[in-house]
Amino acid sequence: MRGLELTPVAKERTVSISVKAVPRAARDEIVGWLDGALKIRVAAAPQDGRANAALESLLAAALGLRKSAVRVAAGHGSARKRVEIDGIERAELERRLAAAGFSLIASGKTAD
């Protein structure tokens, strides 16, 4: 097809962080960094993926992202999880976490 130019589309980067999830908490909250993982408490029970869904929603809201941009990628049945976050660069993730009071630098951890 002559004369047709294709414009490359920039691919959004996926950043992953380690999370320590605490289900059945009194309230949903991001606690802070603990042993290189972001500790997050959720009120939901760890049944049928409810706690994971609550964790994804809470983290998305805290970062100002749509809920579908945050997903538990590994550790679905475990307290230790790897969470992937789409549509945000590493530096922006660090900035937003720092603005919320959760600096990656202070934790000694870096996002992947």
pLDDT digits (tens, 9 = 90+) for 24-74: 999 999 998 888 899 999 999 999 999 999 999 999 999 999 999 999 999
Q: Which two tokens stand for residue 57?
A: 């929603």
Residue 10 above 80 pLDDT? Answer: no
Domain 14-107 in this protein, CATH class? alpha beta
